[in-house]
Amino acid sequence: MELDSRKLLRTFRPSRILLPILIGLGTVTFLFVQNFDRQAFENIKWTWNSSFWIFMALMAMVVRDLAYMLRIRALTDHEIGWWRSFIVIMLWEFCSSIVPTMLGSGYFFAIFILTREKINTGRSITAITLSSFQDGVFLALVAPFVYFVIGKEKLFSSLNLSTRIVEGGGSGFLVTFWTVYFIILAYKIFVAYGLFINPRFVKWALIKIFSLPLLNRWRHDARETGDQLIIASKGLKNKSRRFWIESFGGTFISWTARYSLVNCLVLAFTNAPAENFIIFGKQVVMGIIILFTPTPGGSGFAEFMFNKYLSEFIPFGLSASLGLLWRLISYYPYIFIGVILLPKWIKQKFSKEEIAVGTGS
């Protein structure tokens, strides 16, 4: 695993950590200056209602992380305790925050983190492969549900559906939403076939596809993915009902809490209870589109989309500030916690030789 150690450690370079922070803060600053309205800030009245909903926003993230911890414990057959599961989830979220979202959001690193926590490689692969699949199941079910229940017009009501995405219009967002959704759906169906029916065929198909001239450079990765599916498929045989209830329950609770965050922030500064489900549905759309962005943790694009897509529910002039508050609660804490936990974890889990090779020292 020497090569994996080197790759993981190089990911934690200061430049990789600072990049998403600079992109996100730069975007928020630009949007804040562009939409600044002094009157909007003077009109803010902090009440007990504001304090309550800010507290609930923080609790949404606590519930999200506790549900993730419940899931990772279930997926590892409770081999790790609550504290170690906290470490794993925080480091996993940290990795996801500093690598591009379209590169798998840190799933490779999650497998490696689990193996360093003395979970055997097969079980680590099974746990992370299934968690990725379960995340996809949630999105595959909830996205069309909110779309058809709320309706296209209301779901994209803050955008002009007749304009292109390069102009900030709604048709581009609509097309991107469904394109990313069907890519996710197709991939998860493919993974499901590999996990539960015929993993060896999936491995064979991957190798054949990535043997094509334009894709040949990723053939090794395709073979490795196929091997992981075979290992994960074997690891899922004869699992108990409790295993499936806890893992899927943790998945649905964590994602629901995650997408409830903006509702809490909006309610802290406005009074729009009738719009709560629409706000939740818009977060699902945002979450799916952000999955396909090339920046670390969706930095920049997430802030821009919040400002553009949720502005109708936020007093004019406050959307950029509320977008920053959203990211301060849901994104930046994982970077800061990761920076605190990481040095000690590396010292505990890596040899001095691995650290020297990985950091180039």
- Model confidence at 114: pLDDT above 70: yes
* Euclidean distance between CA atoms 139 and 284, whole angstroms: 8
258, pLDDT greater than 50: yes
Average predicted confidence (pLDDT) for the chain: 82
Domain that holds residue 133: 2-359
Going by pLDDT thresholds of 50, 70 and 90, the confidence category of residue 65 is very high
Q: So what's the pLDDT on residue 161?
A: 45
The stretch 89-116 carries a mean pLDDT of 79
More confident residue, 349 or 38: 349
Q: Quote the pTM value.
A: 0.85
**pLDDT value for 40:** 59
Question: Are 192 and 133 spatial neighbours (Cβ–Cβ below 8 Å)?
Answer: yes
Say what percent of the chain tops pLDDT 70.
82
Does the CA dihedral 216-217-218-219 come out positive or negative?
A: positive
47: its two tokens? 């009440």
Question: Is the per-residue pLDDT at 291 higher than 60?
Answer: yes
pLDDT of 87 over the 90 cut = yes
Closest CA to 285 of 262, 268, 265: 262
CA angle 134, 345, 337 (to 5 degrees): 65
36: confidence class by pLDDT, cuts 50, 70, 90: low
Q: Confirm if 301 and 56 have CB atoms less than 8 A apart.
A: no
CB 303 within 8 Å of CB 323: yes
Checking if the pLDDT of 160 tops 60, the result is no
Q: Please enumerate in sequence order all residues whose Cβ is within 8 A of that of 47, keeping only pairs 6 or more positions apart, or say none.
A: none
- What tokens were used for 43? 């009109």
Structure confidence at residue 163 as a pLDDT band (50, 70, 90)? very low
- pLDDT score at 14: 64
Tens of pLDDT, residues 131-151: 989 999 999 999 999 999 999
Crossing angle (nearest 10°) for helices 332-349 and 14-34 = 180
Cα distance between residue 296 and residue 16, in whole Å: 9
Of 194, 212, 214, 192, nearest in space to 202 by CA: 194
Domain count, the chain: 1
Share of the chain above pLDDT 90, in %: 28
* Strands of the chain, DSSP E: none
DSSP 44-92: ----HHHHHHHHHHHHHHHHHHHHHHHHHHHHTTT-S-HHHHHHHHHHH
